[in-house]
Amino acid sequence: MMNVDAVIIGGGACGLMCAVQAGYLGKSALIVEHNDKVGAKILISGGGRCNYTNLYTTESNFISNNEHFPKSALSQWSVDDSIQFFEMMGIEGQEKTLGQLFPTSNKASDIVRGFEQMIEDLGQQILCNSSVISIHQTEDGFDVELLNRGKKQIVKTANVVIATGGLPIPKMGATDFAFQIAKQFDLKITKTAPALVPLVIGHNQREWFEKMSGTSVHSIVSNDEISFEENILFTHWGLSGPAILQISSYWRAPKPIYINFLPHQSIRKLIEETRQTNGKKLLQNFLSTFLPNKLCDAMSVYLPYDKNIASLSNTELEHIENIIHHFEVIPAGDKGYEKAEVMRGGIDTNELSSKSLEAKKVPGLFFGGECVDVTGWLGGYNFQWAWACGYVIAQNLH
């Protein structure tokens, strides 16, 4: 029978950080990972480059039923802490767009390898190809029954850390394990849904979008709650790209989203200026100066392309303005957990201490990372949350 200070279930970002930080505090930890290696999601993030934090992280970059919940963990482990930690690991960061920090090597594998080396140096243990059969609360902690390469064993521990992630990308081994444990200990779960996920268009609009497939446009995408300015990508089934992934976390069916194809410019003002010098120019030729060719061609079904700009009425100008700056799309749904980067919802934050991430009703039981009802924006925010969770939990182990 094995005895450790903490059993960490899940070898992702939160679990790895927790094991390292526990080691710094002289506490023994065992990571239980059901895949054949740790850090699977780290390895595929950012196209295999791993956008490991964001320089502009604040609690406002996270979605939760309790918007104040992330503040404590993020203040205990800051972006600067992440940067210094990874520099100590030998990983220097380089900023790409909008504060996103990547390793200068552009290799996510460097981060996973760095964690594995730290964990080995600190004498912590990792069991891959292993699963948890049961968790039983005892007078002095928990008995965790494992199945490790076909063999059962019991691990006694004062602390259990649930860091198994969310439901996205089931082919990589994502499960609802965290929710099974929450239910076992009578902890509430906030409704979950895919987040940072491409949006699907209904069949009645599909033909128009298919014509646009492969076209990327720098846009502002908004709804009645928030807006994001980045690229969008048209596909044969709908919309993807950074701005769409961002807004998807705030989208609920059957609500519309709106696309501004010409941010920071006024199409009406541009038309009125051009009227003075070249009023005979056809609207289609005029718009082709500002919009990608495929988008310009597709707009012919909405706009009076056969007219020259001098002859456009005020009503037509208003219509053009609305189409270019406030193009309405009503998604039919999203691409689901298979294509989602993260999950919305999770373990109800009312069940956890924001300072320690320990379950209020179950001493020694902690939840961290994506399984908690805290969802970050695209661009390194979810990793910053995971590192912060791992650190905070380690500081509060019994």
* Average pLDDT of the chain, as a whole number: 96
Q: For residue 383, give both structure tokens.
A: 């990793």
Tell me, what's the pLDDT at 17? 98
Which contiguous run of DSSP H or E holds residue 205? helix 203-212
Question: Model-level pTM?
Answer: 0.96
Residue 108 scores a pLDDT above 90: yes
Strand, coil or helix: 193: strand
User: Which residue segments constitute the domains of the chain, with CATH numbers given?
Assistant: 2-194+343-395 (3.50.50.60), 198-335 (2.40.30.10)
Provide the pLDDT confidence category of residue 124 given band limits of 50, 70 and 90. Answer: very high
Q: What average pLDDT does the segment 298-303 reach?
A: 94
Q: Give, in degrees to the nearest 5, the angle at Cα 374 between 388 and 220.
A: 110
Res. 83: pLDDT tops 90: yes
pLDDT at position 204 is: 86
pLDDT of residue 262: 97
Where does the pLDDT of residue 184 fall: very low under 50, low under 70, confident under 90, or very high at 90 and above?
very high
pLDDT tier, 170 (very low <50, low <70, confident <90, very high otherwise): confident
Burial class (CB in 10 A: 0-12, 13-18, 19+), 275: middle
pLDDT of residue 322: 98
pLDDT value, residue 203: 87
Question: Stretch 67-78: mean pLDDT, rounded?
Answer: 98
pLDDT of 76 above 90: yes
What integer is the mean pLDDT of 289-295?
A: 94
More confident residue, 148 or 370: 370
Cα 53 to Cα 75, 101, 233, 356, 387: the distances in Å are 14, 6, 24, 21, 9
Q: pLDDT band at residue 149, thresholds of 50, 70 and 90?
A: confident
Q: Residue 61 corresponds to which tokens in the numbers above?
A: 């970059």
Give Rg (Cα) of the chain.
25
Question: Tokens 């701005």 — which residue?
Answer: 243
User: Prior bond to 70 cis, omega within 30?
Assistant: no
